[in-house]
Structure 1
């Protein structure tokens, strides 16, 4: 969720307020003209020196700002709700969208081309932009938004030199494991087989130690769809919890996934198995140490939320669990 946290003093000190939607009048929130620092989470926010989103504008993308541009002079806050992932703006040479035009899709220093200091109107097709009077994001500015075309810059005519699209905040990803669509396979593997013979007429103690340790393991793996648009370095958690079913096996853990890194994890542990202490008269006792190996593949629905926009993708979680180690006994008369 996109939100802004505003503070009364510099360095995030003093009284604070948190908002998740635009505020047209900070007087009503008892926080007018007193903001000195702020934090933004998610999509950018625009601050205004006047109420009802009027006056001098400043834009704050996701991050922490120990000092704001205009201390103690903010009266309204507006959250940027546009989809910022694929921006596009058209600049026009004259007012009312006349004359030459140029289409931009990324940050541009107009001093390097033929459109410097000549724009007088614009239309935003996608996203939100900041138009600057000088290069390197300096001087007077205009915040340009989709569906808010500006036919006349007025005093800003023929002064535009730098254009920059606003960036979306870091996406948040929630993962839903679709257990009803899982594929499951279980097989039994004999790890050890121990035999004891008793030819006598009375019980005998088992000829080997009473317990042994065996190594089990659980391997988690997550794979993204080939068409994923999730960027490198993005991480999220997959909460895995499958209760015991017909195979009497269960999984329960939280698996952290990061795009661009190895998404395989193996955990090993020793399992101690107790063996019988005695063998009946005239009997052969065979003890098989058996590991049940569970292989589960299940689709995972990923909901990627950027600002106020969400989309869905799918991946696959796979777990190979071999921690269930038991003993099976077979007794034969001799």
Structure 2
């Protein structure tokens, strides 16, 4: 949801109102010329000095703005609806898109290059741009929006040969929903690991009850991890991947999250040892490595985009016992005596 919450006083105090659509005249909703702080969720908003989106304008990106430069001077609000994912603007040295040109796709400080204070016209291919009078986002700025063409900077806002910094507005954080495709789970490997071994020897002529213990408790361990199918895919925000009611992975930008869950498993070992026999009880953990595709739906400005990741687990939850009985060679011992 794209919305703006505006407040009467600084630091989000006083009366407040919430908007999800353009407001051409804030006086019509009894909130004209009184905004002193605001919060933006989703796409950026534009605040205008005059009604009907006229006069001085300031852009507000997603976040909390405790203090604003246009305090008590905003009369209309407009949501930026452009797709801000892949911004592009072409600036020209002369009027009417003539002379040398420069295609820009990211924030740039023109004072570091050869195009500083040279632009006289532009065409916006994608996104919404702030064109600053000075470097480092300094001075007055003009907002250039997608599809707009300005053939002459001079008479419009006396900006000819004065542009020194260009900044593309950023869209809000996407909402990420996940779905683990359990039906597509693939077992990569299985192996048995002996985690305990218990021995009992019966040298009598009678069957003996195994008395070391009737049961033991062991820890079963499962490791969980997640990775993106496309390593270069940029995830700007963290999201949770719910494995089960007890287990969640937190996936963040630039990190591969992993976690380990530990359970207690009680193994019952009732057994009798035959006469002149040795009993060996092996406690075996079955380790299963499996991978499962994960569908990621990233929604930004109402536009969903589907990507895929992979959830992997190495699970040792299955614990079993294996019994082996072998006779004791007492006859050889007697002969040797």
Normalising by the smaller structure, the TM-score range is 0.7 to 0.9
- Provide the rounded CA distance (Å) in 2 between the counterparts of 1:180 and 1:105: 41
Report the CA distance shift for 1:290/1:29 in structure 2 as closer, same or farther (over 3 A). Answer: farther
User: Where do residues 282-321 of structure 1 align in structure 2 (5 Å cutoff)?
Assistant: 289-321=283-315
- Provide the rounded CA distance (Å) in 2 between the counterparts of 1:206 and 1:318: 40
Match of 2:182 among 157, 179, 182: 179
Is this contact kept in 1: 2:24–2:52, CA < 8 A?
yes
Is this contact kept in 2: 1:228–1:313, CA < 8 A?
no
Is this contact kept in 1: 2:229–2:308, CA < 8 A?
yes
Q: Which residue of 2 aligns with 1:148?
A: 148
Match of 2:240 among 229, 237, 242: 237
Aligned pairs, how many? 322
Q: Which residue of 2 aligns with 1:15?
A: 15
Is this contact kept in 1: 2:227–2:256, CA < 8 A?
no
- Provide the rounded CA distance (Å) in 2 between the counterparts of 1:197 and 1:325: 24
Q: Which residue of 2 aligns with 1:105?
A: 105
Q: Which residue of 1 aligns with 2:255?
A: 261
Q: Which residue of 2 aligns with 1:54?
A: 54
Offset at residue 167 of structure 1 (A): 2.6
- Provide the rounded CA distance (Å) in 1 between the counterparts of 2:183 and 2:289: 15
Report the CA distance shift for 1:113/1:230 in structure 2 as closer, same or farther (over 3 A). Answer: closer
Offset at residue 100 of structure 1 (A): 4.2
Q: Which residue of 2 aligns with 1:246?
A: none
Offset at residue 144 of structure 1 (A): 0.5
Report the CA distance shift for 1:28/1:286 in structure 2 as closer, same or farther (over 3 A). Answer: farther
CA RMSD of aligned residues (A): 3.4
1:215 maps onto 2:219 in alignment? yes
Offset at residue 297 of structure 1 (A): 1.1
User: Where do residues 91-130 of structure 1 align in structure 2 (5 Å cutoff)?
Assistant: 91-130=91-130
Gaps (5+ residues) in structure 1?
242-250
- Provide the rounded CA distance (Å) in 2 between the counterparts of 1:192 and 1:117: 77
- Provide the rounded CA distance (Å) in 1 between the counterparts of 2:50 and 2:276: 95
Report the CA distance shift for 1:136/1:269 in structure 2 as closer, same or farther (over 3 A). Answer: same
Offset at residue 194 of structure 1 (A): 4.6
- Provide the rounded CA distance (Å) in 1 between the counterparts of 2:178 and 2:24: 35
